[in-house]
Structures are given as C-alpha cells and as structure tokens.
Amino acid sequence: MKIHRIHQSQFLPITLDEAWSFFATPKNLEAMTPPFLNFKILSEVPDVVHSGLMIEYRIRAVFGIPMRWLTEIKHVEALARFVDEQRIGPFPFWYHEHRFKAVEGGIIMEDEVHYVMPWSVFGTLIHWVFIRGRLLEIFRFRKRYLADRFNLVQKD
C-alpha cells in the first residue's frame, strides 16, 4: 500500500482571524472547488467547523459519474489548523490537514493531503495517469480562486 502525499502552500495578504473566518466556514468550500467537480454539500453545516462535524457532499470526479463523499472534521485548533478525514468515499484512506500561520503582511496557508488509492496495481496506474493530475488541478484552481478573492497579485 503506497501512501501518496500532496503539499501546497500559499501566501495570502490577510490576518489569521480573516483566514480562519473564511476557511473554517464549510459553506465556502463550494466556491473554492472547480466547476468540473460539480461539488455540492448535501448535509446541513454550521457556520464554523468543529471536531466531529460530518459533512456529506456529492462530486462528479471521474467521467461525470456522481459519487457521495463523507468527511469528518478532526483536530480543530482555532486560528491554527483543522483536519478532514474521509469516512465514506473513493479512497481507502484520506487525511487532509489545513494549516494557517501568521507571517509578515499576511498568512501562509498550507494543505497537506495523505491518501491511498484503491485497487492495488490498477489503482497505482490510474493514480499516475489521472488522479494525481486531477488533484493538483483542484489545488491550482483553489490557488487562483484565493488569489482573486483576497486581491493577491500573482507572480508567474
């Protein structure tokens, strides 16, 4: 079993309070998700994440086929980090940590995802041909969305 890892970081010119207010609000997740996923939250969600919160949503990640995903919010440390873990979904294991750190002029937001593909060797092939690229595209979309949302001048 291979555990894959994706790590992304982004500077945003906002305070920790502003970052937490935005990222800890589950309803903001839809706007940060690329349209090709047709992401839709199905469960009732509170204004701010808390440990034990279960969020059910629908995505169309592969060939437009709808699938349901259930995540549990874990390890919430206000203004610093929270973790979502998949309970039901396409991966045998999915652990996504969101971290926030104050720096001069703003914050650094980090995402670290650890995940395992299903289907053994076939899953490994699908990962390298399709899944890894799709996950990276989701993070690229999110990075562009956040740069626009928080008026960050991008340097390419």
Interval 21-48: pLDDT, tens: 999 999 999 999 999 999 999 999 999 9
Q: What is the DSSP letter of 84?
A: E
Measured CA to CA, the distance from residue 139 to residue 154 in angstroms comes to: 15
CATH of 3-149, one of 3.40.50.300, 1.10.150.20, 3.90.640.10, 3.30.530.20: 3.30.530.20
Q: What does the pLDDT look like over 93-102, one tens digit per residue?
A: 999 999 999 9
Measured CA to CA, the distance from residue 130 to residue 11 in angstroms comes to: 28
Query: What is the pLDDT at residue 146?
Result: 96
In this prediction the pTM is 0.90
**Mean pLDDT confidence for 81-106:** 97
Query: What is the pLDDT at residue 153?
Result: 67
Q: Which tokens go with 48?
A: 């701010």
**Mean pLDDT confidence for 51-59:** 97
**Mean pLDDT confidence for 116-120:** 89
Query: What is the pLDDT at residue 152?
Result: 73
Rounded to the nearest 5 percent, the helix, strand and coil shares of the chain are: 30, 40, 30
Q: What does the pLDDT look like over 70-80, one tens digit per residue?
A: 999 999 999 99
Query: What is the pLDDT at residue 154?
Result: 56
Closest by Cα among 152, 89, 139 to 112: 139
Query: What is the pLDDT at residue 123?
Result: 78
What's the sign of the alpha-carbon dihedral 32, 127, 82, 43?
A: positive
Whether the CB-CB separation of 76 and 82 falls below 8 Å is answered with yes
Task: Write down the domain spans for the chain.
Answer: 3-149
